[in-house]
Amino acid sequence: EAGVAQSPRYKIIEKRQSVAFWCNPISGHATLYWYQQILGQGPKLLIQFQNNGVVDDSQLPKDRFSAERLKGVDSTLKIQPAKLEDSAVYLCASSLAVATDTQYFGPGTRLTVL
């Protein structure tokens, strides 16, 4: 079974530029999460999707971050414009929408904002 795929693995941009990350969850997983992990800290939820609907985006900085999950499969996370403090690893995770709710994580995208 293929795992959660993310691309790119690394991205370096200058502040005020825009960037987009892509996630392909495990086939059949209805729930998709985006987490942000700043160096030295645990991951923090940005947004949760159930199929193509948003369940929780309360911690998403909506003035600069946006995310979508068209057709309930792949998802993209965008930052526009980026700030220095957005430097982090962006992790995508997916899970089946059932009681056994193990979350499977992708390898993440490491973003550096200069």
Asked if 106 contacts 97 with a C-beta cutoff of 8 angstroms, the reply is no
Stretch that binds another protein, among 12-20, 44-52, 61-69, 73-81 (CB under 8 A): 44-52
Residue in the structure block whose two tokens are 């992990």: 37
- Contact with another protein (CB under 8 A) among 33, 79, 82, 88: 33
Q: Are strands 53-56 and 65-68 parallel, antiparallel or unpaired?
A: unpaired
106: Cα within 13 Å, side-chain hemisphere: 28
**Alpha-carbon distance 113 to 15, whole Å?**
6
CB of 109 to another protein, least distance (A): 11
Stretch that binds another protein, among 12-20, 66-74, 75-83, 106-114 (CB under 8 A): 106-114
- List contacts with another protein (CB under 8 A): 4, 31, 33, 35, 40-45, 48, 50, 55-56, 91, 93, 95, 97, 99, 101-108
